[in-house]
Amino acid sequence: MYDSLIFVSINIITVLTAGYWMLVALDTVAGMRSVKILAPEKFREDIRYPKVSIIMTAKDEESTIVRSLRTLQGLDYPVYEVIVVNDRSTDRTLEEILAVRREGMELKVITIYELPDGWVGKNHACYRGYRESSGEILLFTDADVEYNPASLRTAIHYFENQKADHLAVSPVIYGESFLLRLFVQYFLYSFLIYFRPWAGGMGVGAFNMFRREAYERIGTHKVISLRPDEDLQLGRLVKRRGLNQKFASGKKLMSVQWYTSLRQAMRGIEKNAFAGLQYNYLIAIGAISGQLLFFVFPFIAVIILHGWMQISYSIVLILMISVYISHISVFSNSRKYDVLFLPLSAVLFIFVVSRALVKTIFHRGIYWRGTFYSLQDLRKM
């Protein structure tokens, strides 16, 4: 009886897994057709170049902000302003910003000394930057993004041609160590499958571009003041309003070293792991179980099972690998042989996310950039 129940369960799991990966593969093939890889373009006579306000937020970014500002200074674009919001930094971030300005770069610098109640730091900083901006187009970005000189005009070409209200562009993300690289690539792979950015409702913290009126229409950062995943939430608000939203790959235009070590990545993922799962325990359990069942077990099943189930899981692995290669080809410059370490990447990802969820639940909140935000407050948004 017990053996029979196990056999039936494995049969059901096999069918569900095969069905899941067929749907994912079909969705990826269809979705990727709508994702444009932006490549540097020359100036065009048929494109209007509106004023762009680039709003960069920074908290304790002394090691990256100068490099990022230099690339903004080198943008080949007719008219733009750069607003840097120094959000309660305790290191030399402000000194580095002011040094760049003294050397001749035009910067509008805002320093925040206290965080008002009801706000997550970055959201408040973005909102303050918006209040000081004058551009028709708003570009929210981070202090660790490095830009190609043609990146802004290329994005504007696409933005204007598509008559978009919002454009989210994914930079190429890189990690220097082997394990960090595997984690970053797998995070991107899993993220794209789960959130399906080609279906709309997507935002990217490194490059979130809005028409001013569209940003104001969705309510600005005020309506998501306590969401640590503010980039995603802005994208969802745009979709709910029925505005014209586009998502593109910026692998040829911009790059960001997301984290400098796996340990730092493990700390960083704590801020939005539970937020991305809507602070819902059942969704969190389902997400971890789904990863184990659909992403890890196939590598074991193809070895221990036989007959039609082994054939099914062989097909599943082909689909998994194909989707992985499709994703990193469009959004990353990573080595394609990293696919050989897909099982290790999956286990590493599950460990990091599970750790983040447990810590968030145990502490009843998150620590982000030196500030504690309780789950009770975060769930209000």
Tell me how far apart the alpha carbons of residues 30 and 156 are, in angstroms, rounded to a whole number: 25
Contacting residues for 270 by C-beta, under 8 A, at least 6 apart? 356, 359, 360, 366, 367, 368
Tokens, residue 355? 């750790």
Do 368 and 272 contact (CB within 8 A), yes or no? Answer: no
Terminal C-alpha separation, the chain: 49
Task: For the chain, 381 residues long, give each residue's pLDDT as a single digit of tens.
Answer: 556 777 788 889 999 999 999 999 999 999 998 899 999 999 888 888 999 999 999 999 999 999 999 999 999 999 999 999 999 999 999 999 999 999 999 999 999 999 999 999 999 999 999 999 999 999 999 999 999 999 999 999 999 999 999 999 999 988 778 888 888 889 889 989 988 998 888 899 999 999 999 999 999 999 999 998 899 999 999 999 999 999 999 999 999 987 778 888 888 777 777 676 777 778 888 889 999 999 999 999 999 999 999 999 999 999 999 999 999 888 887 777 788 899 999 999 898 888 888 888 888 887 776 778 787 777 766
Contacting residues for 157 by C-beta, under 8 A, at least 6 apart? 41, 44, 47
Contacting residues for 86 by C-beta, under 8 A, at least 6 apart? 58, 59, 93, 94, 97, 109, 110, 111, 112
Q: Which domains does the chain have, with CATH numbers?
A: 2-32+273-378 (no CATH), 36-185+195-261 (3.90.550.10)
Tokens, residue 238? 């745009």
Place of tokens 């690539």: 185
Tell me how far apart the alpha carbons of residues 211 and 175 are, in angstroms, rounded to a whole number: 32
186-218 CB burial, b ≥16 within 10 A, e <16: bbbbbbbbeeebbebbbbbbbbbbbbbebbeeb
Tell me how far apart the alpha carbons of residues 198 and 307 are, in angstroms, rounded to a whole number: 37
Strand-pairing partners, residue 36, are 248
